[in-house]
Structure 1
Amino acid sequence: MVYVLRKSKKPVYSIGIILAAGNSTRTGGKDKMFIRFQGIPLIIHSISKFSNHELIDYTIVVVPENKKLIMEKIIIQWNLKNILVVSGGERRQDSVLNALSEVRKNEIFNKVKLVAIHDGARPFFSEKLLNQGFDLADKYHAAIPVIPVNDTVKIVDNNGFVENTLDRGSIFRVQTPQIFSLDLIIKAHKDKSQEFTDDASMVELLGEKVKVFNGEYKNVKITTASDLENLNIINFGKNNNSIYGLGIDSHRLKLGIDLILGGIKIDHNKGLDGHSDGDVLLHSICDAILGALGLVDLGYHYPSSDLNLQGIDSSEMLNKILNMMKEKNFELNHLDSTIITQEPRISDYRESIENNLSNLLGINEFSVNLKATTTDFLGFIGKSEGIAAQSIVTLNKLNN
């Protein structure tokens, strides 16, 4: 099944195809499309720009068959409209062809004239780039963004010797989105056994002319593991308004009381002993937020000497600290937590805890990551005498 969201019944004249069906082998197996940049999955950066663009009436997202459900879930989570998700193929051109096949057989696309095909791993393109491409494709039927090659380019033989030096003035690097008339790109993709690295090459093989226009240096493609590492320092001239905090907490286990982690009751014969309900996970999150804001720690705001706080629900403390965060004009962008326990096993509760944290923190579940580990029977945790938790938060400064 494909997933379709429509925001209106207006005719569809232009569509976007976003390709995200690769196997991520060059990024070390990490699915680059779901890696977060500034708290948002990379693929959502691309999809949202297409979905919100005034010239694109509908967007088709192509993903591996086993990623369709999670992609649909993310689309709903980020409230994106006019999206259709289809399965990809073995090669890039097969994925494009699958999307074009949906266009041909679905009646809502019977008025489509132009198609913008884009690599989902290029999330940093501008609205202006799309505008230029559509204007030129409307006139010339095929338009692609390019940037000049600044380095000297040489042809090297199989033995490692230079054969020739090329005139770099006529050599350009090609980007996406590449925009074509629908009839032309369907014709270009018909019965092609040769493998192509972009759609313009297939159009060129027909003898058709392809118009080029200025691309953008920031429109980089995330391809390798080093590209993912560089995401942490990519800024494109914008101020970095993020701050980070680390929180750690531990409590001993005690017979006869409930075990609460992340606000969820865990089936176990022991619970965490503390002045509050002993929820080490929520305590570590509280401390992480306070640390990022420079507001001391949880014990400062909720001292164990205050008898009125005996047995307090940790979610109440978290709510107060979130209000302190909002007063400082920050919002929570991402949470990464680890529960350290020999027993009980956390895997059976991970999804419930993540969902509850999402609700408590007011962020989508894709911005919450929960891990669990043991100490291999070392120390008080390894002896099942206690449980610890560690959390790292990212807070973003609000503009207003």
Structure 2
Amino acid sequence: MMILMMMTIQTSLILAMTWKTKVTMTNNDELALILVAAGSSARIGFDKTGSKIKKEYLAMNGGTVLSCAAKAFLSTLNFSTVVVTYPIASNDQDLKASEQKSREALFADDFVKNYKADFIFVPGGKTRQESVHDALEAIEEKHPDCSLVFIHDGARPFLKSETVELTYRAALEFGASVPGLQPTETQKKIDENGFITKHLVRSSLTAVQTPQVFQFTPILEAHRKAAESTKVFTDDTEIWDEFAAKRKNENGESLSRVKVVLGDPENKKITYPEDLKSLTN
């Protein structure tokens, strides 16, 4: 507990010192936001009526978890495109109803509802990777001039503007960025039988969060290559490192690996029933 408190204080001090001046966008920036919210919320459980809980649609701060996640971005930077993935359904009627629930959850907050951007709703795929790929293709179809894309968990509503700005600046400089936190517990690698096989150095490890921010064209091309691969990828930074990093962009410049910036302990993802205690209505 003491270590976590010290990390929280350290994070606040660093952010306070770093963000005295609000970030200024360049005229060439065309930003897109993908909110990934197509999952089944399998680990969150059921409500009192026995209905399955969709965590992104839960009430929070006068809106919903999903609208709070969106608002953190839209109140910080100027986004021309916002893509929301929603759960796929087996028939057209249920698919239409699923999209409508997603729209209602996103626009539950008037700030988001009145925001001037192109809002696109895309049915999710079988996996998170497929959902993000489909969202990227939707951006390519309607806004191919997009420069940077932010990919964020729709169930991660506690995001602060400071983290948005940190990842934005790093992505401008390096091409890809992600917030991360050093683990507070000593980390070990184990085998399939549960025995320790390697003692990892905690100072060289990071637990990454979202948003994960990328140059748009390289991450789209990387996702297309990942879709043709038999490998299962854990997140978009792995796809970037596998298919984009160290390769040349359209200007003949080598793309770097993903830059990790300071994360925020409060930027947690709602996953389990006990996480619902953090929501305020």
Report the TM range for the smaller structure's normalisation. Answer: 0.7 to 0.9
- In structure 2, what is the Cα distance between the partners aligned to 1:77 and 1:152? 42
- Is the 8 Å Cα contact of residues 144 and 177 (structure 1) preserved in structure 2? yes
Report the counterpart of residue 200 of structure 1 in structure 2: 237
Identify if the C-alpha distance between structure 1 residues 52 and 84 changes in structure 2 by more than 3 Å, giving closer, same or farther: farther
Residue 79 of structure 2 aligns to a residue whose secondary structure is coil
1:100 to partner: Cα distance? 0.8
Report the counterpart of residue 133 of structure 2 in structure 1: 97
- In structure 1, what is the Cα distance between the partners aligned to 2:83 and 2:63? 19
Structure of higher CA gyration radius: 1
1:212 aligns with 2:260: yes
- Is the 8 Å Cα contact of residues 124 and 130 (structure 2) preserved in structure 1? yes
The one-character-per-residue Cα deviations of 1:70-105 (angstroms, maximum 9, x if unpaired) are 222344443323222111111111111111111111
Report the counterpart of residue 55 of structure 2 in structure 1: 32
Higher relative contact order (CA 8 A, sep 6+): 2
1:156 aligns with 2:204: no
1:187 aligned to which of 204, 221, 224:
221
Report the counterpart of residue 310 of structure 1 in structure 2: none
Report the counterpart of residue 273 of structure 1 in structure 2: none
1:274-289 matches, cutoff 5 A = none
- In structure 1, what is the Cα distance between the partners aligned to 2:141 and 2:231? 25
- Is the 8 Å Cα contact of residues 155 and 162 (structure 1) preserved in structure 2? yes
Residue 151 of structure 2 aligns to a residue whose secondary structure is strand
- Is the 8 Å Cα contact of residues 26 and 225 (structure 1) preserved in structure 2? yes
- In structure 2, what is the Cα distance between the partners aligned to 1:76 and 1:124? 18
Residue 237 of structure 2 aligns to a residue whose secondary structure is helix
- Is the 8 Å Cα contact of residues 57 and 102 (structure 2) preserved in structure 1? no
1:1-400 matches, cutoff 5 A = 13-28=30-45, 29-65=52-88, 66=95, 67-79=98-110, 80=113, 81=115, 82=117, 83-106=119-142, 109-192=143-226, 193-206=230-243, 208=245, 209-228=257-276, 230-231=277-278
- In structure 2, what is the Cα distance between the partners aligned to 1:114 and 1:127? 17
The one-character-per-residue Cα deviations of 1:220-252 (angstroms, maximum 9, x if unpaired) are 011122322x325x8xxxxxxxxxxxxxxxxxx
- In structure 2, what is the Cα distance between the partners aligned to 1:227 and 1:135? 30
Residue 225 of structure 2 aligns to a residue whose secondary structure is coil
Q: Which runs of 5+ in 2 are unaligned?
A: 1-26, 46-51, 89-94, 246-256
CA RMSD in angstroms comes to 2.1
Identify if the C-alpha distance between structure 1 residues 163 and 119 changes in structure 2 by more than 3 Å, giving closer, same or farther: same
Q: What one-letter code is carried by the residue in structure 2 that aligns with 1:200? A: T
- In structure 1, what is the Cα distance between the partners aligned to 2:224 and 2:133? 8
Q: What one-letter code is carried by the residue in structure 2 that aligns with 1:21? A: A
The one-character-per-residue Cα deviations of 1:41-64 (angstroms, maximum 9, x if unpaired) are 111101222233324232111111
- In structure 2, what is the Cα distance between the partners aligned to 1:34 and 1:148? 30
- In structure 2, what is the Cα distance between the partners aligned to 1:199 and 1:214? 18
Identify if the C-alpha distance between structure 1 residues 194 and 158 changes in structure 2 by more than 3 Å, giving closer, same or farther: closer
1:12 to partner: Cα distance? 7.4
Q: What one-letter code is carried by the residue in structure 2 that aligns with 1:223? A: T
TM-score, structure 2 normalization: 0.73
Q: What one-letter code is carried by the residue in structure 2 that aligns with 1:42? A: V
- Is the 8 Å Cα contact of residues 225 and 243 (structure 2) preserved in structure 1? no
Report how many residues are paired.
Answer: 222
Identify if the C-alpha distance between structure 1 residues 76 and 36 changes in structure 2 by more than 3 Å, giving closer, same or farther: closer
Q: Which runs of 5+ in 1 are unaligned?
A: 1-9, 235-332, 334-400
> Between the two proteins, what is the percent identity of the paired residues?
30
- In structure 2, what is the Cα distance between the partners aligned to 1:76 and 1:157? 46
- Is the 8 Å Cα contact of residues 122 and 219 (structure 1) preserved in structure 2? yes
Q: What one-letter code is carried by the residue in structure 1 that aligns with 2:53? A: K
- In structure 2, what is the Cα distance between the partners aligned to 1:94 and 1:172? 25
- In structure 2, what is the Cα distance between the partners aligned to 1:76 and 1:227? 23
- Is the 8 Å Cα contact of residues 51 and 57 (structure 1) preserved in structure 2? no
